[in-house]
A = this chain, B = another copy of it.
Amino acid sequence: MRYELYYWPHIPGRGEFVRLSLEAAGAQYVDVGRLPESEGGGRPAIVRLLQEPNRPRVPFAPPLLKAGDLVLSQTANILHYLGPRLGLAPEDEASRYWAHQLQLTLADLLVEVHDTHHPVAKSLYYEEQKAEALRRAANFLELRLPKYLRYFESVLEANGSEGGLVGAKLAYPDLSFFHMVEGLRYAFPNAMLRAKPAYPRIDALHRRVRDEPRIGAYLASPRRMPFNDKGLFRYYPELDP
């Protein structure tokens, strides 16, 4: 199967979680949003898929995955679909619900990270909600981030040494978790550096994913977009004292 990923071309965003699984599996895929418009890519290709007037089951927002006739949206839903097909999900049903549950918890955390710099409205600039962002980010670093880090560390501890979040074999939530750690380190370098000694298993899983050959090759390639000041993870020094 040759998959098509549709995601905004200017940020890693939610598309990156899908991209990492496709890359880790060596899957064939086209990153349509990053193709030139002259080749049928870019933002217009995404907007077309969101607005096709005669298509039922129109998605609300990207990322979108086209797999044959199927068009899926919602990052966790896409990964729930792709996981087994890419060899990145466990075999038994109970473990698949567990993997999906972890992915949904990561999705919750992602919204909280985004809202540290956009607590009032997506439609306003950061500068228009900076006062609110300072309050929200401080609370996030004091209470919410430690709660999530403690949780994921405890999951890894329960799974024993060498394990990922789902089991011994790497699964798609591990790849998403890697990207979450990358993003948190980009957005909150001071807080994450202070936290590091308390979460050795999180650090070990991050390194393990980074050192996977296909992931290493991907990270070194131009297909991997750097974080920037338009994305979900943003670095504003005043939010990370």
A residues contacting B by CB (< 8 A) are 55-60, 70, 72-74, 76-77, 80-81, 94, 97-98, 100-101, 104-105, 108, 111, 115, 119-124, 129, 132, 135-136, 139-140, 143-144, 148, 151, 154-155, 158-159
CB of A111 to closest CB in B, whole Å: 6
Q: Which 5 A-B pairs have the closest CB atoms?
A: A121-B139, A74-B104, A56-B158, A60-B105, A132-B132
Q: Could you show 24 A-B contacts with beta carbons less than 8 Å apart? A: A55-B158, A56-B158, A59-B101, A60-B108, A72-B97, A74-B101, A81-B97, A108-B111, A111-B111, A115-B119, A119-B119, A119-B120, A119-B132, A119-B136, A120-B132, A120-B135, A121-B135, A121-B136, A121-B140, A123-B143, A124-B139, A129-B135, A132-B132, A132-B135
- List the number of copies, as a whole number: 2
**Complexed CA–CA distance, A222 and B120 (Å):** 37
Chain B residue nearest to A132 in the complex (CB): B132
Contact of A60 among B56, B121, B151 (CB under 8 A): B151
Query: A97 contacts which chain B residues (CB < 8 A)?
Result: 70, 72, 77, 80-81
Which of B105, B123, B132, B159 has a CB less than 8 Å from the CB of A74?
B105
Given contacts A56-B159, A119-B136, A121-B136, 12 further A-B contacts (CB under 8 A): A57-B98, A58-B158, A70-B97, A73-B101, A74-B101, A76-B104, A81-B97, A119-B119, A119-B132, A121-B135, A121-B140, A121-B143
Cα A97 to Cα B74 with chains together (Å): 10
Chain B residues, Cβ within 8 Å of A135:
120-121, 129, 132
- A9, chain B: closest CB distance, angstroms: 22
Cβ–Cβ < 8 Å partners of A56 in chain B = 158-159
Chain B residue at smallest Cβ distance from A106: B60
B159 touching A139, Cβ below 8 Å: no
